Chains A and B, each alone.
Chain A
């Protein structure tokens, strides 16, 4: 018995050594780079005619179909689409793989707000290497600006989210409330609605970093600036930030917003039964309303985002993202070919069909797109409102190179102001401080305040 157990032990040890050796071999492999780093259209075409397997991390359902179509066109290329998590979950994995030096995909879906974090940390390929900077005119200004960082181009935009006011017309009609065109009117409408029926709210808000930054963006705030990759300044008390916080304070302190978190099942319920009467949100929302709130078909309409100055159209981007090529990729040319197909070529239509709101100018301005009458929105030509919004996006916005972390602590700081129904400005200052502290710890030079 003793002998047998010893043998088993030895065998186990041998297996462990084997695993170690394999691990070393694998890591040795990963450090030896492969494939050309740069190339023109001919090089890309050549790469697509070579046996290659690409790994793509994306959670947008359309990518699955785009990959299938792509494989049909380029039979030698196999595209593995992996849903490695939605948003933050995927960024954590991506960040870990970057740190580990292996395990990252060839292509990854990255939202605009998260892009600086990966681009400025030198984890993504500058698409200028493939001449993709020549595509600039094919995309809306705001999305191209979002992928152009520090003199490079780090992703091709996939979808976009110019904001608009989605409102439940049935509720507005029932109480005779006019659709607000300015934020002052919006606050007035909130009071009128909640007074008429205390179970109904103009909107829901428990504190959402993406929404807050988009609102500050529209108000003309530019709280984040990054120069030379590491010199960062944060001022969440600049004019635009204050303008937003002061107005929104009236809603939060006055108990005029529903205390329901977005994307929860209660939220969908509130959108269906009219207790959440409006959403100021990105242009990708119609698809989510149609699938998630099917029962309210015919109730909802789209109007331009309320403005700060009467009659001066302004909007901001909310959500949306692009796809980038990772530096770790050993098939950069083939990855570039797929990226181009997905976000510049035929893939764009597939994304639109799946409910994505395009970032490509040609698709936005096609007659078919502009004149599409949505049954869900009572036959309204919603894209006319949404496309106009994409043209009115306020210029000059930047996100932080550590926005993912910063947004993750939003609820610990500004969220507290929401739950205690107190001044959002104080919450924003706390957020600014916590964010700056983190940035300094990470080796950035952060200047907080004006």
Chain B
């Protein structure tokens, strides 16, 4: 048992070692042709710079815009600061507008993400591991179903799910968002392929030999080996749940249960109604506040994200 746990990380480490060696080899090979490396890297730098600008430009606009008042927003040049710096004013207003409904929506989104995406990741880890490491009749059938489910976009299922949940009396409750979020066929598939490589069957056999139950093996050994894969799936599901728009739009009619996406859209739509308040400055500031947690999550989990992505490429 002890021996097994000790070997496991070292096995993983050596696997990682091999992987980086092979990448280095490939890299060296590409440096081969005369001067090709130099030219290509300038081109790549330019392409990358364009991509960086492309990706950061909207964020820059968002930040600049959220420092303006509603009237400055409409009367000044969009891509530079103008007038008083009212970011903090805007934030205060965003948090208090409509009896603090933004805070409520923020809380709802957190709830859906923690329970929905967290649960989806846990289920994907359990299921993917099970499918990768145990043999049972009907496994091919399960494989077909999971692959088929990956191919169906969630939006296509929203209305049928609504009709079903309506029969169960679940619409207009947090469950109507959380339950569909718990299912992540893509996550399951990812963990499945990841577990095939990352959890050596020999380690499991050694653990069993030493008398560890399947649950214990999973939580003490396999889960640790699966961590990069799990974090990748977690990021995917967190982003998907955080950005989920269509499902809550269909399921919820009470603004008290709205997530940020639907709530902000409602604020935006206010400008189109008779007697409605145009509050673009709050919509913009609210959007800025909405993306902050996602940015933070990416920065902190970045390294797992990268290793998770390369996991697939190595296998291929």
Closest Cβ of chain A to B130, distance in Å, is: 14
In chain A between 74 and 110, which residues have their CB closer than 8 angstroms to a CB of chain B?
82-87, 89, 92-93, 96-97, 99-103, 105
User: A99 to B162, alpha carbons, bound, how many Å?
Assistant: 10
B271 touches A263 (CB 8 A): yes
Q: Is the interface of B mostly helix, strand, loop or mixed?
A: helix
Closest Cβ of chain B to A239, distance in Å, is: 32
A27 touches B167 (CB 8 A): yes
| A 277-308 to B, binary, CB cutoff 8 A, 1 in contact else 0 | 00000001001100111110000000000000
A99 touches B163 (CB 8 A): yes
- In the complex, which residues of chain A have a beta carbon less than 8 angstroms from the beta carbon of B250? 92-93, 96
- In the complex, which residues of chain A have a beta carbon less than 8 angstroms from the beta carbon of B170? 19, 23
| B 161-180 to A, binary, CB cutoff 8 A, 1 in contact else 0 | 01100111111100000000
Say whether A177 faces chain B, with CB atoms less than 8 Å apart: no
- In the complex, which residues of chain B have a beta carbon less than 8 angstroms from the beta carbon of A295? 71, 74-75
- In the complex, which residues of chain A have a beta carbon less than 8 angstroms from the beta carbon of B266? 83, 85-86
A159 touches B163 (CB 8 A): no
Closest Cβ of chain B to A434, distance in Å, is: 21
With beta carbons under 8 angstroms apart, the residue of A57, A61, A293 that contacts B275 is: A61
Say whether B276 faces chain A, with CB atoms less than 8 Å apart: yes
B167 touches A100 (CB 8 A): yes
B253 touches A57 (CB 8 A): yes
- Chain A residue nearest to B265 in the complex (CB): A89
Say whether A22 faces chain B, with CB atoms less than 8 Å apart: yes
User: A117 to B262, alpha carbons, bound, how many Å?
Assistant: 25
With beta carbons under 8 angstroms apart, the residue of B74, B167, B169, B276 that contacts A293 is: B74
Say whether B249 faces chain A, with CB atoms less than 8 Å apart: yes
- In the complex, which residues of chain B have a beta carbon less than 8 angstroms from the beta carbon of A1? 213, 215-216
User: A22 to B170, alpha carbons, bound, how many Å?
Assistant: 10
With beta carbons under 8 angstroms apart, the residue of A19, A22, A265, A287 that contacts B280 is: A265
- Chain A residue nearest to B278 in the complex (CB): A292
A85 touches B168 (CB 8 A): no
Given contacts A272-B74, A293-B74, contact A19 B275 (CB under 8 A): no
A265 touches B73 (CB 8 A): yes
Given contacts A83-B255, A291-B278, contact A61 B163 (CB under 8 A): no
Say whether B270 faces chain A, with CB atoms less than 8 Å apart: yes
With beta carbons under 8 angstroms apart, the residue of A61, A265, A269 that contacts B276 is: A61
Closest Cβ of chain A to B256, distance in Å, is: 9
Say whether B254 faces chain A, with CB atoms less than 8 Å apart: yes
Given contacts A268-B278, A291-B277, contact A96 B75 (CB under 8 A): no
With beta carbons under 8 angstroms apart, the residue of A27, A159, A356 that contacts B169 is: A27
B271 touches A20 (CB 8 A): no
With beta carbons under 8 angstroms apart, the residue of A23, A84, A292, A355 that contacts B167 is: A23
In chain A between 1 and 45, which residues have their CB closer than 8 angstroms to a CB of chain B?
1-2, 5, 19-20, 22-23, 26-27
Chain B interface residue count, Cβ-Cβ cutoff 8 angstroms: 35
Say whether A273 faces chain B, with CB atoms less than 8 Å apart: yes
Say whether B273 faces chain A, with CB atoms less than 8 Å apart: yes
Given contacts A100-B162, A268-B74, A272-B75, contact A82 B280 (CB under 8 A): no
Say whether B274 faces chain A, with CB atoms less than 8 Å apart: yes
Given contacts A103-B171, A103-B172, contact A62 B73 (CB under 8 A): no
Say whether B313 faces chain A, with CB atoms less than 8 Å apart: no
Given contacts A23-B167, A84-B253, A99-B163, contact A59 B269 (CB under 8 A): yes
In chain A between 351 and 401, which residues have their CB closer than 8 angstroms to a CB of chain B?
351, 354-357
- Chain A residue nearest to B255 in the complex (CB): A83
User: A273 to B269, alpha carbons, bound, how many Å?
Assistant: 22
B168 touches A20 (CB 8 A): yes
Number of A-B pairs, beta carbon distance below 8 Å: 116
Given contacts A86-B269, A268-B280, contact A356 B275 (CB under 8 A): yes
Say whether A178 faces chain B, with CB atoms less than 8 Å apart: no
Most A C-beta atoms less than 10 A away, residue of B254, B269, B273: B273
- In the complex, which residues of chain A have a beta carbon less than 8 angstroms from the beta carbon of B159? 96
- In the complex, which residues of chain A have a beta carbon less than 8 angstroms from the beta carbon of B213? 1-2
B75 touches A85 (CB 8 A): no
User: A268 to B72, alpha carbons, bound, how many Å?
Assistant: 12
- In the complex, which residues of chain B have a beta carbon less than 8 angstroms from the beta carbon of A268? 74, 271, 278, 280
Say whether A195 faces chain B, with CB atoms less than 8 Å apart: no
A100 touches B215 (CB 8 A): no
Given contacts A1-B213, A59-B269, A269-B75, contact A356 B274 (CB under 8 A): yes
Closest Cβ of chain A to B286, distance in Å, is: 14
B273 touches A61 (CB 8 A): yes
- In the complex, which residues of chain A have a beta carbon less than 8 angstroms from the beta carbon of B216? 1
- Chain A residue nearest to B166 in the complex (CB): A100
Given contacts A22-B169, A89-B269, contact A103 B253 (CB under 8 A): yes
Say whether B272 faces chain A, with CB atoms less than 8 Å apart: yes
In chain B between 210 and 258, which residues have their CB closer than 8 angstroms to a CB of chain A?
213, 215-216, 249-250, 253-255
- Chain A residue nearest to B163 in the complex (CB): A100
In chain B between 117 and 176, which residues have their CB closer than 8 angstroms to a CB of chain A?
159, 162-163, 166-172
A selection of 17 A-B contacts at a CB cut-off of 8 Å is A23-B167, A61-B275, A61-B277, A84-B253, A86-B269, A87-B269, A93-B253, A100-B163, A103-B253, A105-B253, A269-B74, A272-B74, A273-B75, A288-B276, A292-B271, A294-B71, A295-B75
Q: Shortest 10 CB-CB distances between A and B: which pairs? A: A355-B275, A23-B168, A100-B166, A86-B269, A354-B275, A26-B169, A292-B278, A84-B253, A284-B274, A269-B74
Q: A61-B277, A268-B280 provided; 10 other pairs, C-beta below 8 A?
A: A1-B216, A19-B170, A85-B266, A87-B269, A93-B253, A100-B171, A101-B166, A291-B277, A294-B71, A354-B275
Which A residues have a C-beta under 8 Å from some C-beta of B?
1-2, 5, 19-20, 22-23, 26-27, 57, 59-62, 82-87, 89, 92-93, 96-97, 99-103, 105, 159, 263, 265, 268-269, 272-273, 284, 287-288, 291-295, 351, 354-357
Which B residues have a C-beta under 8 Å from some C-beta of A?
71, 73-75, 159, 162-163, 166-172, 213, 215-216, 249-250, 253-255, 265-266, 269-278, 280
